[in-house]
Amino acid sequence: MKFEELTAPPGWSAIDFLSDLHLAPELPATLAALRRQLQDSPADAFFLLGDIFEVWIGDDARHEDFEAECLALLRAAGRPLFFMAGNRDFLLGEAMARDAGLTRLTDPTVLEAFGQRLLLSHGDALCLADADYQRFRAQVRADDWQREFLARPLAERRALARQMRDASRAAQRGLDPMSWADVDAAAAADWLRQARCQVLLHGHTHRPAVHELGGGLRRWVLSDWDLDHDARGDVLRLSAAGLQRLPVGTPA
């Protein structure tokens, strides 16, 4: 497996990682929390590891009301922003990345920073026990499917995305989140060994924790964000001292 590699500039002293914000018009407090994080964090750069948006239906939506607000927020960050697609925003393309100041990353990517070597992923590709999702993922990541979907009118795409989101929520309703497929430990360890890393950092599962994988390997899981209902969310900050989990909005 080929791993893209990125090396942090020597002048950086801290990096913030966040994922699974699921930004949507009905979550204004979560959007406001992101704005504060980007403004107030001491980090030199931010890595957005997927599902930043509840849904992204194509870059031609970036000038619509809510999407335009998000674009302006990201563009005003004033520091490097790196973006890795999740299962909700895999259609974010070059136009949005250019206008918002995002550097797109492949999944997975190796990051070398502060003498450390981490493997970054959204995490969904490693949830191997969910065979139905993996089939769906392969379908929607295919170029032909994306071309056909993006050729539809914007309003039709928005309606289709709403239908898929509602169907997903209905399927999950009443289920214990801990019953959902988790990252496959053996596959995660194999990735780490191939990438010559000891730490995998990912989101997607909404189960913030640190998991030991044996042999000195471990995975750090980011939380999802919901500041509108549950005051939930965290950031992982990397510095020369290592990784630290911090609540959203922790002052410098």
User: What CATH number did the domain enclosing 210 receive?
Assistant: 3.60.21.10
For residue 252, pLDDT over 80 is answered with: no
Residue 107 lies in a domain: yes
Q: Rounded to two decimals, what is the model's pTM?
A: 0.95
Reported as a pLDDT band with limits 50, 70 and 90, residue 167 is confident
Task: List the domain range (segments joined by +) for residue 101.
Answer: 4-241
Residue 225 lies in a domain: yes
pLDDT at residue 1 in the model:
83
Cα–Cα distances (Å) from 173 to 21, 168, 170, in that order, read 20, 9, 5
Reported as a pLDDT band with limits 50, 70 and 90, residue 173 is low
Half-sphere exposure of 103 (CA within 13 A, CB side): 9
The average confidence (pLDDT) of the chain is: 94
pLDDT at residue 58 in the model:
97
Residue 152 lies in a domain: yes
The CA distance from 51 to 204, in Å, is 8
Reported as a pLDDT band with limits 50, 70 and 90, residue 166 is confident
